[in-house]
Structure formats: structure tokens, C-alpha cells
Structure 1
Amino acid sequence: MSSSESSVQDPAIEAIASAAAEPETETATEPQSDSMAEYYALQRQLLQITLICTVVIFGAVWWAYSLNTAASYLLGAMGGLLYLRMLGKAVERIGERRRQFGKSRLALFVVLIVVAARWHYLELMPVFLGFLTYKAALIWYTLRTVFPAAENS
């Protein structure tokens, strides 16, 4: 076949080929974009709940203890927020080939604890508990998922 014969194709064949290709692209991208939109909404919701918990607990710690203890808690909570964001980005990239499996997230936690241990202004336990504040948002989401009727009533 010459190049002029291969470039001229039957319009019916082209229509069938394009019709066959269109549903595949729509069905392949539509569920993925819907699921990613749902994932981004969940990620944003978890970050917001963690931030709200951080503000409330920071105020309570400052009122009950001291500004030093509250600042230690706040440093840990900000580290926890950053950790949750990094975790969300890692989940978003699942399936890509990577050589680092969470090394940066582990490094964040280690640096946070080392800074708290070395700097005499900070207290280690409030930093650690502050770091775990993001878990409250995860527990809230889990309970909301397991017991959906309680939220609707």
C-alpha cells in the first residue's frame, strides 16, 4: 500500500473508530475524576477538622497549663498537620514508582521530637501529643462512616 492509499480512509471506518474510542475515554476518566474529587474533599475535610481540633486544644492547654506548654503542643500539632498533608500527597501518588517510602514523613517526626528534646523551652510530651492531633480527625471520620445514621438524625 502506498502512503496516499493509507492516508485516505473510508469515512465510515473513521466514524466507527472515533465512536469506539469516545466511550472508553469518558468512562475511564469520569469515575477517576469523581473519585479524585471525593478524595480531595475528604483530604480537605480532614485538614479542616485537624485545624479546628488544634485551635480548641491549644486554647484549653493554654488556659489549663501555661503558654510554654501550649506552644509545645502547637508545634507538635503543626507538625501533625504537615504530616497529614504529606501523607495525603503520598496517597495521591500511589501507583507511581518511587524509591522513598515515607522517609520524609518519618524524618519530619524525628526532627520534631529531636528539636523538642534539645530545645529547653519546649516540652516533649505536649509536642508528641500535639503531633497526634491529626488522629482525632481520622477517628471522627471513621465514626462518621461507621455510624452514618447518627449524623442524619
Structure 2
Amino acid sequence: MSLSEEPIAPTPTTQQDAPSGFEETESVNTSMQEFHQLYQKLLVITLVLTGIIFISVWIFYSLNTALNYLIGACTGVVYLKMLAKDVEQLGAEKNRLSKNRFALFVGLIVLATQWHDLHVLPIFLGFLTYKATLLVYTVQTAFISDS
């Protein structure tokens, strides 16, 4: 048998013919892209809600109360970023989520109780803005999927 007569193995042309490792890698990449899109969407909704609520609190209460809210909301955004980073590493590098984020919240509340100009309630409600974001996203998703 000469070199020109050796049988040539067919190359994979469809995803079904491709090795299973390729499918898993593609699936992971797609999942990570979806995760990053969701994270970006949640971040934008959180920032929009923060702006709307900050201006509303400033109009109806005072600048000091609005700034206290803003401190809490900014801490909530940092918490959301830490959570996203933790979730991103889940599976590949970690088996479970860390509890470091909770220390951020506890530190914020301790700071609010010790500092004379800070008020706990607006800071706490500001921190919970990211939870309101999850509600907005859930309602949007429910109405979009019904259409």
C-alpha cells in the first residue's frame, strides 16, 4: 500500500460527529455568555433603580437621607459584583459559595450604627436595591415569556 492509497478518516462535519469534549466546552462557553449577559442586565437595572430611588428620596426626604440610601445601594452593587464573581468560579474552582460577602453587609451596618451622621434604615433599604432588581427582572421575564 503506497502513501496515496491509505484510507483517510473522515473529518467531523457536524456537531454530532465532533468529540464530546468539544460539545461540553461549547456548552460551557454558551452558559458563561448567558451568565455574563444576565449579570450585565441585572447591573444595569440595579443602577437605574438606584438613580430613580435616590432622586425620589432626595425630593421627598432630604439630601442626607438620600446619601445614606446611596451608600447602601453602592454597597449592594459591590455585593452583587462579589456574588457574580463567586458564581462564575463555582464548579470550575470552587464547590460552594463563600461567605465573604456577608462580612461586607455586617461591616456596613456596624459602620451605620457607630457613625453619628449615618442612618441604618436608609442604608439597609439601599443595600436591598439589588433584591428589587431581582423582582423587576423576574416580572419582566414572566411577561416576556407569556407573549
Separation in 1, partners of 2:104, 2:145: 38
Between the two proteins, the alignment pairs up a number of residues equal to 139
Please list the CA deviations of residues 64-103 of structure 1 after superposition, one character each: whole Å capped at 9, or x if unmatched: 1111100100000000001111111111111245598432
State the one-letter code of the partner of 1:148: I
Q: 2:78 aligns with which of 76, 79, 82?
A: 82
Separation in 1, partners of 2:94, 2:29: 23
Structure 1 residues 98 and 33, CA, compared in 2 at 3 Å: closer, same or farther?
closer
| 1:104 has 2:100 as partner | yes
Q: Which runs of 4 or more aligned residues in structure 1 lie more than 6 Å from their structure 2 counterparts after TM superposition?
A: none
Q: Output the aligned Cα RMSD.
A: 2.5
- Assess if the C-alpha contact under 8 Å between 2:90 and 2:96 holds in 1: no
The equivalent residue for 2:43 is 47
Separation in 1, partners of 2:34, 2:136: 17
TM-score (norm 2): 0.82
TM-score (norm 1): 0.79
The equivalent residue for 1:140 is 136
- Assess if the C-alpha contact under 8 Å between 2:46 and 2:130 holds in 1: yes
Please list the CA deviations of residues 33-66 of structure 1 after superposition, one character each: whole Å capped at 9, or x if unmatched: 1111011000000001000000110000011111
The equivalent residue for 1:69 is 65
Deviation at 1:23, TM superposition (A): 2.8
Farther off after superposition, 74-83 or 133-142? 133-142
The equivalent residue for 2:124 is 128
Which ranges in structure 2 are unaligned for 5 or more consecutive residues? 1-5
State the one-letter code of the partner of 1:32: V
**Residues 7-22 of structure 1: pairs in structure 2 closer than 5 A:** 15=9, 22=18
Structure 1 residues 97 and 33, CA, compared in 2 at 3 Å: closer, same or farther?
closer
DSSP-derived class of the 1:108 partner: helix
Q: 1:35 aligns with which of 26, 31, 35?
A: 31
Pick the structure with greater CA Rg: 1
Instruction: Return the structure number with greater helix share.
Output: 1
Separation in 2, partners of 1:34, 1:96: 15
Separation in 2, partners of 1:101, 1:149: 30
Farther off after superposition, 141-150 or 122-131? 141-150
Separation in 2, partners of 1:35, 1:12: 38
